[in-house]
Amino acid sequence: MYGGPGAGSPSGTPKLFDLERYRIILFDQRGCGRSTPHASDLATDISLNTTEHLLRDMEQLRAQLGVERWLSFGGSWGSALSVACAERHPERVSEMLPAFWLMGRAEVDWSAWEDAVLSLEPHGKPAPFSDRASDDLLAFARICAHYAANNGWLEDGALLRNAGRLAGIPAVIMHGRLDLSCPYDAAWQFAQAWPNAELVAFDDAGHKGSPAMHDHVRSTVARFSVL
C-alpha cells in the first residue's frame, strides 16, 4: 500500500516480490495516482475521501478480484490503513508486513516536517515530496491536509487498542531507527500488543528504508510464500 495519505502507490513495490509466487495488487487511494476523479481538480469533492470510504474500497476490490485472503504490505499511511482493514476483516488477511504509522496526533504533527527529515536520511534524496508533478503534488497536498485535519477519522490510539483482533495473523514489523517521519515507538508499542508480530529494527534505515531492509522484505515474503 501507498504512503500519504494521497501519495499514490509506489512503483518499486513489485520488485520485492517473486512474481511467480505472488499476485501483486496495487491500487491508488481515491483522488490520487491513477484514480479518477483526481484531487488536483479543485472541483473534485474530497468529502467522500475518508478512511471509512477507503476501507470499503479495499473490501470491494478484494471481492471483485476474487481474493479470499491476502498478504497486506504497507508503509507509512499504508500501514495504518492496512492495520485498520485487518482489524475489521482479520479473516481476510494471511500475513502482514507493516512499517508503522498509527495516524496518532503526535505523528500527524510530525508530517509538517516530512519533506525536510526525509531529505536528511542516509538513503534519502532532496525534496522527496515536492519534486512530484504539479497535479500529483496538488492532489497530495489536498488529500494529506484533509486527512491530517481530521486525524484520519481514527480515534487516537484506537488501532493499538484493537490490536487483539489481529491474533493469529503472522506479521513482521520492519522499522528504521532513523525514521523521524514515523517514530519508532509506534512500531514498538504495536509489537508488544500483537503476539504474532516480530519487530525488526534497522539501524541504517529511515522512512525510505535501506538496502538491508529491502533484503529482509524479500526474504520475509519468500518465507511467507511457503506457509
Say how many C-beta atoms besides its own lie within 10 A of residue 24's C-beta. 10
Cis ω before 122 (30° cut-off from 0): no
**Cα distance between residue 181 and residue 101, in whole Å:** 9
207 is annotated as an active-site residue: yes
Instruction: Decide: 1 and 57 in contact? Cβ < 8 Å.
Output: no
38 is annotated as an active-site residue: no
Compute the radius of gyration of the chain from its Cα atoms: 16
**Cα distance between residue 106 and residue 116, in whole Å:** 17
135 is annotated as an active-site residue: no
Helix 77-88 and helix 51-64: axis angle, to 10°?
70
Longest Cα–Cα distance of the chain, Å, equals 47
* Catalytic, out of 9, 76, 82, 111: 76
Q: What is residue 14's three-state secondary structure?
A: helix
* Catalytic, out of 146, 175, 207, 216: 207
Instruction: Decide: 173 and 190 in contact? Cβ < 8 Å.
Output: yes
* Catalytic, out of 82, 175, 179, 210: 179
Which residues are marked as active site?
A: 76, 179, 207
